[in-house]
């Protein structure tokens, strides 16, 4: 979609060396993306809230290469100030795959410094924040060298498209408050190729929402999301699941526009449990919920029944519980977490997060 052979630098007039830094957040899906085809295209549309505290900072430095005749990508890569060969190899492969889009990448010597705002061991997925931060740096680079992404909407769309190629869910992190990725009749302009912002369309209650992440286990996931998506191919419930997600997105979106917390919460919880049910009935099957995840789910439901407070849970493909609630009950919910839920978390660890304004250039 964005292949452009004209994005080539004139080696007789090389650009000055420079750098860009972006801070980009993670996001939490309410309607889950689970199942993909082709080049990172989703089997169903998804909707997420953009987070604020769980971020990746990425700096991309560039200078013209002495020999710019198109050898392999030249990248130095540092994660938390240390060279990391495994991550470097992944990023090099990603950048190589992007050379039809950014032919100039092979003319540059690149250095990436990246790091997360949350502890690496927290068990929080970082691919969304990491790939969106890198995509934003690449768009800044293109714009600095060629002036081709001056329009903010064009810039964001291309960044979202690139982020998607790195990791599907990352395409939703580009936008403030909330985003939808995947074609759906209920969001004009929605696409399988990139996410679109919906933060301005939802009720203000959801722009002041919290997501406290209860870290049940920080262990590396037993199944990578790539393998998880692939398992949907043989799953006997796959088609029914995709139809359900399409239908639910419409119901959820209406509820979010109206500020209907109850419908939001019912769908959020049902989506989380459906995701895990799909993993449990895949072949091979995965049970990623742990006893403490279930204990927290029980407690949340009891607390809601007793207090009437709109506190809901969701999960991604792991055992950690995301507690979703509006800002107006933060004191009550934080007390509930401290008194009744922290004991189920690894070392009592809770990563506090909330709906944020999206990425920031530093
Ligand atoms: C359960 O975006 O991590 O968090 O495209 O293979 O990188 P890849 O997968 P990824 O999958 C995220 C799955 C999920 C649901 C979601 O975020 O929508």
Question: What is the SS3 string spanning 338-360?
Answer: HHHHHHHCHHHCEEEEEECCCCE
Contact 58, 111 (CB under 8 A): no
**By C-alpha distance, which of 149, 156, 150, 154 is closest to 135?**
156
CA nearest ligand 1 atom 7, residue:
167
Ligand 1 cavity residues, CB under 6 Å: 29, 32-34, 40, 46, 127, 167-169, 225-226, 229, 275, 316-317
For 136, counting Cβ atoms within 10 Å of its Cβ (0-12 exposed, 13-18 middle, 19+ buried), the class is buried
Measured between its terminal Cα atoms, the distance across the chain in Å is: 29
Q: What is the pLDDT along the chain (362 residues), one digit of tens a residue?
A: 899 999 999 989 999 999 999 999 999 999 999 999 999 999 999 999 999 999 999 999 999 998 877 789 999 999 999 999 999 999 999 999 999 999 999 999 999 999 999 876 666 768 999 999 999 999 999 999 999 999 999 999 999 999 999 999 999 999 999 999 999 999 999 999 999 999 999 999 999 999 999 999 988 777 788 888 999 999 999 999 999 999 999 999 999 999 999 999 999 999 999 999 999 999 999 999 999 999 999 999 999 999 999 999 999 999 999 999 999 999 999 999 999 999 999 999 999 999 999 999 99
Question: Which atom of ligand 1 lies closest to the CA of 229?
Answer: 6
Question: Which atom of ligand 1 lies closest to the CA of 46?
Answer: 18
Angle at 50 between CA 49 and CA 53, to 5 degrees: 125
Distance 72 CA to ligand 1 centre (A): 29
The whole-angstrom separation of Cα 141 and Cα 147 is 9
Question: Is 0.75 topped by the overall pTM?
Answer: yes
- Read off the tokens for 76: 């130095």
Substitution candidate for ligand 1 out of 192, 316, 319, 321 with most atoms within 8 A of CB: 316
Question: Which atom of ligand 1 lies closest to the CA of 317?
Answer: 1
Distance 335 CA to ligand 1 centre (A): 31
Helices (H), 44-188: 85-97, 127-146, 152-166
90 C-beta neighbours (distance < 10 Å), count: 15
DSSP 186: T
Distance 285 CA to ligand 1 centre (A): 18
The whole-angstrom separation of Cα 30 and Cα 47 is 6
The whole-angstrom separation of Cα 349 and Cα 121 is 11
Distance 223 CA to ligand 1 centre (A): 12
Question: Which atom of ligand 1 lies closest to the CA of 27?
Answer: 17
Distance 319 CA to ligand 1 centre (A): 15
Substitution candidate for ligand 1 out of 225, 245, 276, 322 with most atoms within 8 A of CB: 225
Backbone angles phi, psi at 287, to 5 degrees: -110, 105
Question: Which atom of ligand 1 lies closest to the CA of 28?
Answer: 17
Distance 139 CA to ligand 1 centre (A): 22
The alpha-carbon radius of gyration of the chain (Å, integer) is: 21
């Amino acid at each position: 979609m964005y292949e452009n052979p004209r994005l080539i630098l004139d080696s007789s007039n090389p650009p000055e060396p420079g750098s860009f830094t972006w801070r980009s957040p993670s996001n939490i899906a309410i309607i889950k993306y689970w199942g993909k085809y082709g080049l990172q295209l989703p089997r169903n549309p998804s909707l997420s809230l953009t987070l604020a505290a769980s971020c990746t900072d990425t700096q991309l430095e560039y200078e013209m290469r002495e020999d710019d005749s198109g050898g392999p990508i030249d990248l130095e890569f540092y994660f938390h100030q240390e060279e990391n060969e495994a991550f470097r190899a992944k990023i090099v492969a990603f950048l190589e795959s992007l050379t039809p889009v950014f032919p100039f990448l092979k003319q540059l010597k690149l250095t990436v410094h990246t790091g997360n705002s949350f502890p690496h061991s927290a068990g929080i997925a970082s691919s969304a924040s990491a790939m969106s931060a890198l995509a934003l740096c690449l768009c800044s680079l293109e714009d600095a060298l060629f002036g081709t992404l001056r329009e903010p909407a064009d810039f964001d769309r291309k960044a979202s498209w690139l982020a998607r190629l790195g990791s599907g869910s990352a395409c939703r992190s580009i936008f403030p408050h909330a985003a939808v990725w995947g074609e759906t009749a209920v969001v004009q302009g929605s696409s399988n190729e990139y996410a679109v912002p919906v933060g301005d369309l939802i009720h203000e209650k959801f722009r002041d929402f919290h997501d406290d992440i209860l870290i049940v286990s920080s262990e590396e996931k037993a199944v990578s999301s790539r393998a998880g998506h692939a398992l949907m191919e043989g799953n006997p419930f796959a088609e029914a699941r995709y139809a359900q997600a399409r239908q639910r997105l419409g119901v959820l979106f209406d509820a979010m526009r109206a500020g209907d917390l109850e419908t939001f919460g019912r769908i959020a919880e049902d989506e989380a449990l459906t995701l895990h049910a799909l993993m449990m009935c895949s072949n091979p099957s995965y049970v990623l919920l742990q006893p403490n995840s279930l204990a927290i789910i029980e407690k949340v439901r009891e607390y809601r029944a007793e207090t009437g407070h709109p506190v809901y849970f969701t999960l991604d493909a792991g055992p950690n519980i995301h507690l979703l609630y509006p800002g107006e009950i933060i004191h009550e919910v934080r007390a509930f977490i401290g008194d009744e839920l922290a004991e189920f978390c690894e070392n009592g660890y809770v990563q506090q997060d909330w709906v944020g304004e999206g990425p920031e250039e530093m």
